[in-house]
Amino acid sequence: MLLALIKTLRPRQWTKNLLLFAGLVFSHNLTNGLMALKACAGFVVFCALSGVIYILNDLADAESDKAHPRKRLRPIASGALSVRAAWGGAVVIGVAALGGAFSVGVPFGVCAGIYFVLMLAYSFLFKHVVILDLMLLALGFVLRAIAGVWAIRSVEASVLLTSWFLACTFFLALFLAICKRRHELILLEGQAQSHRPVLEEYSPAFLDQMVSVATAATIICYAIYATVYVHHPQGDAAARLDGNSPMIYTLPFVVYGVFRYLYQVYRRDQGGAPETVLLTDKWLIVNIGLWGATVLYILYA
């Protein structure tokens, strides 16, 4: 039962919470031990909270998951984890996580609470509302990014949160969410309504249009962020249109990464599990590694 509970928490999905370290890296504070500790604590909190959301989501979708070729194997849908045990685990982990969030800092705790409530609203209300379902998923990533900054602001209040950073986060998350919906729609074909009713409101052509918009917005927002990025001695990146930021040299990695992901979605029928694609495609792994190394060199060399 314990193994089933851990599986329901979906540890493989916790890679999404690495976004909490973005504020630490881009604020030029990666070598600050206390800030790094706060960011790690925030990462653990969000892994726990997102795990609770997955438990509650699986409880709500247990019947529809049974009609899905892969999701029917999830512990709750398959019966490996009882409903009572799932609820008990969700309550215990959720209370502990929210308590830990406020120990990191009150603003961080508030942000974590908002994230938790937003994801609950998504799971039980808005996941069946066309377009809004995708936007709420993207906003969940934005809240992760904001929380990561608030975690380190508890050490140094001068760390800033820039608008272009949030725009990049939002459109990248939206891009991944749309690709996931498209994969679900294609995979389920005529059974879409029995699994996720909102899929009936989408069509491949409509989702393809949305993918095009999100792709362009992601690349353009990152290009602008890389152009205006300049380290501020008092904290995070201060936006200044000087056109001389070396961060622009990281743009080709982002363009390649987005196009490579589109290749996986359209030519390899991937995209249903973004974390799997990002962790199994060797070219994406190499590309992300080179992007990260370039960013660290520019910021810390």
What pLDDT is recorded for position 230?
55
Alpha-carbon span 132 to 249, nearest angstrom: 34
In this structure, the answer to whether residues 222 and 132 fall within a common structural domain is no
Residues 104 and 178 in one domain: no
Alpha carbon distance 102, 79 (integer Å): 35
Range of the domain at 239: 161-301
Please say which residue of 128, 159, 190 terminates a domain. 159
Q: What's the total number of domains in the chain? A: 2
pLDDT over 70, % of the chain: 89
Q: Does residue 123 share a domain with residue 92?
A: yes
Between 103 and 68, the more confident residue is 103
Mean pLDDT of 74-84: 79
Using pLDDT thresholds of 50, 70 and 90, give the confidence band for residue 144. Answer: very high
Domain boundary among 102, 137, 159: 159
Which of 129, 159, 189 terminates a domain? The answer is 159
Asked whether the predicted pLDDT for residue 197 surpasses 50, the reply is: yes
Please say if the pLDDT value at position 177 is more than 60: yes
Q: Give yes or no: residues 13 and 149 share one domain.
A: yes
**Amino acid 243: pLDDT:** 52
- 3-state SS, residue 156: coil
Q: Looking at per-residue confidence, does 19 or 2 come out higher?
A: 19
* Residue 209 pLDDT > 70: yes
Beta bridge partners of 237: 231
Instruction: State whether residue 232 is helix, strand or coil.
Output: coil
Q: Alpha-carbon dihedral of residues 167, 168, 169, 173, nearest 10 degrees?
A: 110
Q: Are residues 96 and 82 in the same domain?
A: yes
- 15 and 58 inside one domain: yes
Q: How confident is the model at residue 190 (pLDDT cuts 50, 70, 90)?
A: low
Residues 99 and 167 occupy one common structural domain = no
* 9 and 80 co-located in one domain: yes
Query: Do residue 193 and residue 165 come from a single domain?
Result: yes
Q: Are 168 and 218 in contact (CB under 8 A)?
A: yes
Lowest mean pLDDT among 77-81, 153-157, 221-225, 286-290: 77-81
The CATH number for 152's domain is: 1.10.357.140
Contact 11, 93 (CB under 8 A): no
Q: What is the mean pLDDT of residues 249-262?
A: 95
Residue 166 clears pLDDT 80, i.e. is over it: yes
Task: Kindly calculate the radius of gyration of the chain based on its CA atoms and give it in whole angstroms.
Answer: 20
Residues 150 and 275 in one domain: no
The pLDDT value given to residue 241: 43
d(CA 24, CA 285): 22
Q: What is residue 232's predicted lDDT score, i.e. its pLDDT?
A: 45
User: In the predicted model, what is the mean pLDDT of the chain?
Assistant: 86
The answer to whether residues 153 and 279 belong to one domain is no
